């Protein structure tokens, strides 16, 4: 959607802010539902959640393709596709953890998954740009539906190593508290530059609800009832640091994708396909480093890989700042995005591996949901924070772009700081 912002906003009589809201709500829907949906994998089974999620995603893609206005696009893309993704992602990571028991083989599995996820995120602009330029932006959503149908067919014989437990309790109150809390925080960020009073109110409400969620799950544990999340997940220092790196990784990845896409289209008039071609360099970087994950994990500590990844990402971001208004602009973006993609590909796998390997099998459903929720919350923060800086001052052109990129560099440095606090010795 980032490379089709101009076409979508013109066709649906909206603006960049409207499409940004749609994208952010999609990412937010994934974030707030990832933990509850990961718990449902235990009740319904991992395969059933995967297939159900794919079906909902397909419905959302078709709704988006026929959307007459922004409202229907939000229902299809932000809601149906967001819910579908929240259901289908946790089973992928849980099954990979169950199928691969040692650090090296898990690194390979997560490397393939992260590589495909990163390559998909990076290749999406090119595919979307080609379809939007040669056919229509609506055809891109039909393409999604076709791909989903193929995956459903291929998943029919998927083996689930653990049986479903229909009697497993589900903490509905905890799910609502955590979801609404995260919703208010992101909605508050979206109010920056629009309504500062609502920004403060939403942020305060969000923080209060998340604090209430933590108190609630502690009380539920003391009453010997199963909470939505075990508080033991938050007492693992190594896992907490790795989750912080995950959050920052996806924040800078989605924030960069949105900011660069909007800047090239709105300020320099790039077409969807030309914008997509620029992002192929990021695709190449992600693929190269992600597919090398297994070999890198065998030779270097996970802390070193995550730290090097952030350093490369910072270098890539910085490279995309000084030449944005010169004839060397395209070269700077190509080199910067390639270096950025290399860094992202290097650090995605070890972060996931550290998190998933920090807990035994019985907690895999919970930690997988928390991990994906933290990552997607980072994605929504990236689009909301960096995107809001850019969109709220789009008339400033390059100046607002530079500010947004500097903010993203700051978040990358926060991730680097968290990575350097991880233990040097590889996790068992």
- pLDDT tens for 342-362 read 998 888 878 888 887 777 766
pLDDT of residue 332: 82
Do residues 134 and 201 both lie within one domain?
no
Determine, yes or no, domain membership for 184: yes
Alpha carbon distance 34, 366 (integer Å): 10
pLDDT of residue 106: 72
Give yes or no for residue 35 having a pLDDT over 90.
Answer: no
pLDDT of residue 396: 59
Do residues 214 and 315 both lie within one domain?
no
Q: CB of 378 within 8 A of CB of 212?
A: no
Which of 173-187, 216-230, 258-272, 296-310 has the least mean pLDDT? 258-272
Do residues 42 and 117 both lie within one domain?
yes
Give yes or no for residue 298 having a pLDDT over 80.
Answer: no
Do residues 128 and 93 both lie within one domain?
yes
Determine, yes or no, domain membership for 244: yes
Show the domain range for 181. Answer: 174-227
Angle at alpha carbon of residue 32, lines to 279 and 115, rounded to 5°: 35
Do residues 195 and 178 both lie within one domain?
yes
pLDDT of residue 378: 84
pLDDT of residue 373: 79
| Count of structural domains within the chain | 2
Do residues 279 and 310 both lie within one domain?
yes
> Could you give the C-alpha distances from 324 to 36, 255, 261, 328, in angstroms and in order?
43, 17, 13, 8
Do residues 143 and 204 both lie within one domain?
no
Determine, yes or no, domain membership for 324: yes
pLDDT of residue 300: 83
Determine, yes or no, domain membership for 138: yes
Determine, yes or no, domain membership for 285: yes
Burial category of 146 from C-beta neighbours within 10 Å (exposed 0-12, middle 13-18, buried 19 and up): exposed
Which of 74-78, 160-164, 197-201, 424-428 has the least mean pLDDT? 424-428
Mean pLDDT of the chain: 84
Give yes or no for residue 146 having a pLDDT over 60.
Answer: yes
Segment 119-141, tens digit of pLDDT: 676 677 778 888 888 899 999 99
Mean of pLDDT values over 281-304: 80
pLDDT of residue 204: 93
pLDDT of residue 317: 94
Determine, yes or no, domain membership for 426: no
pLDDT band with cut points at 50, 70 and 90 for residue 364: low
Q: Where among 185, 206, 227 does a domain terminate? A: 227
Which one of 31-35, 271-275, 404-408 scores highest in mean pLDDT?
404-408
Q: Where among 204, 227, 250 does a domain terminate? A: 227
Tell me how crowded residue 173 is: count the other CB atoms within 10 A of its CB. 13
Give the distance from CA 187 to its chain's centroid. Answer: 17
Do residues 232 and 373 both lie within one domain?
yes
Q: CB of 90 within 8 A of CB of 367?
A: no
Paired tokens of 191: 């109010």
Give the domain CATH number at 54. Answer: 1.20.1250.20
Do residues 266 and 208 both lie within one domain?
no
Segment 170-215, tens digit of pLDDT: 888 988 998 898 888 888 877 766 677 888 899 899 999 999 999 9
Determine, yes or no, domain membership for 162: no
pLDDT band with cut points at 50, 70 and 90 for residue 414: very high
End-to-end Cα, the chain, rounded Å: 40
pLDDT of residue 428: 46
> Could you give the C-alpha distances from 297 to 235, 289, 343, 375, 422, in angstroms and in order?
26, 11, 15, 21, 15
Q: Return all residues near 365 (Cβ < 8 A) that are at least 6 apart.
A: 38, 39, 41, 42, 90, 94
Indicate the pTM of the whole model: 0.79
Closest CA to 376 of 287, 236, 243: 243
pLDDT band with cut points at 50, 70 and 90 for residue 395: low
pLDDT band with cut points at 50, 70 and 90 for residue 316: very high
Determine, yes or no, domain membership for 169: no
Do residues 106 and 215 both lie within one domain?
no
Alpha carbon distance 241, 419 (integer Å): 7
**In percent, how much of the chain has pLDDT > 90?**
29
Give yes or no for residue 366 having a pLDDT over 60.
Answer: yes
Alpha carbon distance 60, 217 (integer Å): 33
Mean of pLDDT values over 138-154: 93
pLDDT band with cut points at 50, 70 and 90 for residue 427: very low
pLDDT band with cut points at 50, 70 and 90 for residue 59: very high
Alpha carbon distance 31, 250 (integer Å): 12
Do residues 288 and 147 both lie within one domain?
yes
Q: Where among 165, 200, 227 does a domain terminate? A: 227
Which of 68-77, 85-94, 202-211 has the least mean pLDDT? 85-94
Do residues 359 and 248 both lie within one domain?
yes
């Amino acid at each position: 959607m980032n490379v089709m912002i101009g076409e979508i906003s013109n066709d649906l009589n909206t603006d960049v802010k409207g499409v940004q809201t749609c994208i952010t709500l999609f990412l937010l829907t994934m974030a707030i539902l990832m933990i509850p949906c990961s718990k449902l994998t235990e009740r319904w089974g991992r395969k059933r959640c995967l297939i159900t999620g794919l079906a909902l995603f397909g419905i959302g893609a078709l709704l988006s393709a026929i959307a007459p206005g922004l409202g229907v696009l939000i229902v299809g893309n932000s809601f149906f596709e967001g819910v579908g993704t929240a259901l289908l992602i946790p089973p992928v990571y849980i099954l990979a953890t169950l199928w691969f028991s040692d650090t090296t083989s898990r690194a390979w599995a997560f490397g393939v998954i992260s590589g495909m996820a990163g390559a998909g995120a990076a290749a999406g602009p090119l595919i979307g740009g080609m379809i939007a330029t040669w056919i229509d932006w609506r055809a891109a959503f039909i393409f999604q539906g076709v791909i989903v149908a193929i995956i459903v067919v291929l998943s029919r014989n998927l083996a689930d190593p653990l049986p479903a437990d229909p009697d497993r309790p589900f903490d509905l109150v905890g799910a609502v508290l955590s979801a609404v809390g995260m919703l208010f925080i992101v909605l508050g960020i979206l109010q920056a530059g629009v309504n500062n009073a609502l920004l403060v109110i939403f942020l305060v409400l969000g923080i209060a609800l998340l604090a209430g969620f933590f108190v609630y799950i502690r009380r539920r544990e003391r009453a010997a009832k199963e909470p939505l999340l075990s508080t033991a997940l938050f007492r693992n220092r190594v896992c907490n640091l790795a989750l912080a790196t995950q959050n920052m990784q996806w924040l800078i990845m989605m924030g960069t994708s949105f900011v660069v896409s909007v800047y090239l289209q709105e300020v320099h008039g790039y077409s969807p396909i030309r914008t997509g071609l620029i992002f192929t360099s990021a695709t190449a970087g992600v693929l190269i480093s992600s597919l090398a994950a297994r070999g890198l994990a065998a030779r270097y500590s996970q802390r070193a890989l995550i730290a090097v990844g952030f350093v490369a990402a910072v270098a890539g971001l910085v490279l995309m700042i000084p030449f944005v208004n010169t004839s060397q602009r395209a070269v700077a973006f190509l080199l910067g995005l390639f270096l950025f993609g290399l860094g992202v590909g290097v650090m995605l796998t070890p972060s996931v591996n550290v998190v998933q390997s920090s807990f035994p099998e019985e907690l895999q459903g919970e930690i997988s949901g928390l991990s994906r929720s933290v990552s997607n919350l980072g994605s929504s923060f990236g689009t909301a924070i960096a995107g809001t800086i850019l969109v709220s001052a789009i008339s400033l052109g390059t100046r607002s772009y530079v500010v947004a990129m500097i903010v993203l560099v700051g978040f990358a440095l926060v991730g680097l700081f968290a990575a350097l606090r991880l233990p040097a010795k590889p996790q068992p």
